Chain A
Amino acid sequence: MAEAHTSAEYIKHHLQNLTYGRLPDGTWGFAHTAEQAQSMGFWAINVDTLGVSIVLGLVFLYFFRKAAVGATAGVPGGLQNFVEWIVEFVDSSVKGSFTARNALVAPLALTIFIWVFLMNLMDLVPIDWIPGLASALGVPYFKLVPTTDPNATFGLAIGVFILVLYYSFKMKGVGGFAAELALQPFGKWGMPANLLLEGVNLIAKPISLALRLFGNLYAGEMIFILIALMFSGGVALVLTGGVLQWAWAVFHVLIITLQAFIFMTLTIVYLDMAHQEHH
């Protein structure tokens, strides 16, 4: 792709989702330019984000379900061993951070960890492969990494936020939750300040969850794109670019795992806070 476009076009092309929605001329279809995608407004769908994330989620569910069905107390096979290792890791994380009893939290944490990890993992696929393939098939854009789309990360964060609100109300009652927001840290005379602080605190949870993941992956993707730009240069640049891409990919393995882990851990911590009675 690189030789056919300017650098700016190349970068923009890589950052554009495949969006399906109502085109300016009134028909429904894929946006073929960034402006068209922009004009679709809220009632549009990023087919690539949703498609890739659903496929990856199904991959996760398929393998873990397979292991779960075959799970016995006997000697575990390869897949079962691997799955059990992850499950135990997640379970110990949950047991370490979550003090209340809730059957939802551990499966939620497992789903987040593996799903986010798999979505992040797509960042390691060489960035021109899938968009190149898509272009060859006549699809204008294709962004492979769902977590570089804020829709995906905010979607996850909103899911977590809804659970946080649900359990806050359930565990503390409406009055308890309202009191927690209004009566601390400054006591009842500082209510406006309390509301402001606690409100920000509450809203910051989903936003920080979503933006942390999005920012890390977006930046990582951006660096891959910039490195890929070097491949349109001379031999020296190509070699440097190759080395850099390899080095960044190795480093990125750490980042994608870490971000998945952080998302999971923060979810557990937020839900734990939702279950805690403040005094």
Chain B
Amino acid sequence: MNINMTLIGQSVTFGIFVWFCMKFIWPHIVGALESRRKQIADGLAAADRGKHELELAARRASETLHDAKTKASEIIAQAEKRAAQLIDEAKNAAKEEGDRMIHAAKAEIEQETHRAREALRADVARLVVAGAERVLRREIDADAHAQLLETIRNEL
């Protein structure tokens, strides 16, 4: 427990250690701490900003959605109107077409009837003439009575 040179040695050692710590240790660590603190602060600020932007975006999104809905319902209404219109038009066209077809069919039927009647009339006239011919062959001359037969055929 004697006081001796150790005292001075210890003081010098102490000085060297403090110098080393001050030069090579403290600034590095405190610098790292400081820059980490800054990073964290920046991160928090960025997070806040992000949150704010998210809110804005959400608001924008809901606005857009609302617009889209309105537009969509407008389009649907228009489309419905147009569809009804189209259906009406189609109905009218179909009706017209149908009428026209019925008309044509009726005309054709009439024509056919007419033609059949003409044919029938000719046939009957021929049959009557044939019958009359057979009955009258012996006494009546066909040529002499042709005018008469023609008159009968026209009357039928």
Could you tell me which A residues sit within 8 Å of B by CB distance?
Answer: 15, 17, 19, 21, 37-38, 40-46, 49-50, 53-54, 57, 60-61, 64-65, 67-69, 71-74, 76, 80, 83-84, 87-88, 91, 103-104, 106-108, 110-111, 115, 146, 149-152, 154-156, 158-159, 162
Q: Whole-angstrom distance from the CB of B45 to the nearest CB of chain A?
A: 16
Which residues from chain B contact A115 at a C-beta distance below 8 Å?
Answer: 14, 17
Main SS at interface, chain A: helix
Could you tell me which B residues sit within 8 Å of A by CB distance?
Answer: 1-11, 13-15, 17-18, 20-22, 24-26, 28-33, 35-36, 38-39
Q: Say yes or no: B28 contacts A69, CB within 8 Å.
A: yes
Q: Say yes or no: B10 contacts A107, CB within 8 Å.
A: no
Which residues from chain B contact A67 at a C-beta distance below 8 Å?
Answer: 29
Main SS at interface, chain B: helix
Q: Say yes or no: B6 contacts A149, CB within 8 Å.
A: yes
Q: How far is the CA of A210 from the CA of B3 in the complex (A)?
A: 13
Q: Quick one: given A38-B2, A45-B4, A45-B9, are A61 and B20 in contact (CB under 8 Å)?
A: yes
Which residues from chain A contact B6 at a C-beta distance below 8 Å?
Answer: 17, 44-46, 49-50, 149, 151-152, 155
In addition to A110-B25, A159-B11, 7 A-B residue pairs with Cβ atoms within 8 Å of each other are: A61-B17, A68-B24, A80-B32, A149-B1, A152-B6, A156-B14, A162-B11
Which residues from chain A contact B5 at a C-beta distance below 8 Å?
Answer: 42-45
Which residues from chain B contact A110 at a C-beta distance below 8 Å?
Answer: 21, 25-26
Q: Say yes or no: B10 contacts A151, CB within 8 Å.
A: yes
Which residues from chain A contact B17 at a C-beta distance below 8 Å?
Answer: 57, 60-61, 111, 115
Which residues from chain A contact B35 at a C-beta distance below 8 Å?
Answer: 73
Q: Say yes or no: B2 contacts A40, CB within 8 Å.
A: yes
Q: Quick one: given A53-B10, A57-B13, A91-B30, are A68 and B25 in contact (CB under 8 Å)?
A: yes
| Closest Cβ neighbor of A47 among chain B residues | B6
| Closest Cβ neighbor of B6 among chain A residues | A151
Q: Whole-angstrom distance from the CB of A32 to the nearest CB of chain B?
A: 15
Q: Say yes or no: B4 contacts A151, CB within 8 Å.
A: yes
Q: Quick one: given A45-B4, A50-B9, are A65 and B25 in contact (CB under 8 Å)?
A: yes
Q: How far is the CA of A110 from the CA of B26 in the complex (A)?
A: 9
Q: Say yes or no: B18 contacts A68, CB within 8 Å.
A: no
Q: Whole-angstrom distance from the CB of A117 to the nearest CB of chain B?
A: 13
Q: Say yes or no: A65 contacts B4, CB within 8 Å.
A: no
Q: Say yes or no: A72 contacts B32, CB within 8 Å.
A: yes
- Which of A69, A76, A84, A107 is B18 in contact with, Cβ under 8 Å? A107
Q: Quick one: given A19-B4, A46-B6, are A108 and B25 in contact (CB under 8 Å)?
A: no
Q: Of residues A43, A46, A156, which shows the largest number of chain B Cβ atoms within 10 Å of its Cβ? A: A46
Q: Say yes or no: A111 contacts B30, CB within 8 Å.
A: no
